[in-house]
Amino acid sequence: MTQAVRQSPSPRNPRSLLNAVLNSDGKPHPLQNTLVGVTVVLGLLAFVSSAFKDLHLLSSWSGLAGILTGAWGQFISATTGERFLLIIFLGASAVGFFLGMAHGGLFGGLIG
């Protein structure tokens, strides 16, 4: 059976838009939204810092942390908006992690 789409008033600020995307089922998800936020920050940090060879420690560790938080967030996510952002920034974390590993790794030659 086809259901009518609810027309909500257009969000006026970015916070309400983000809230509408992440909590599209109308219920709050504080843990899942926190994991999305942490994954976004770590993914951006890993991706941007991987462009600089000397920042391989930062990109590899933040990428590894972003992969772990993104994977856990995917495991417990509740809405499609959460899953969308998690996949995008999980990929950015993975790119940052792999480039950081290629530029020197997690320990930067301190071990081995």
Whole-number Å distance between alpha carbons of 102 and 67 = 17
pTM for this prediction: 0.84
Per-residue pLDDT, 83: 95
pLDDT tens digits along 38-70: 999 999 999 999 999 999 999 999 999 999 999
Round to whole Å and give the CA distance between 94 and 21.
24
Angle 21-26-29 from CA coordinates, rounded to 5°:
75
CA 5 to CA 49: how far, in whole Å?
42
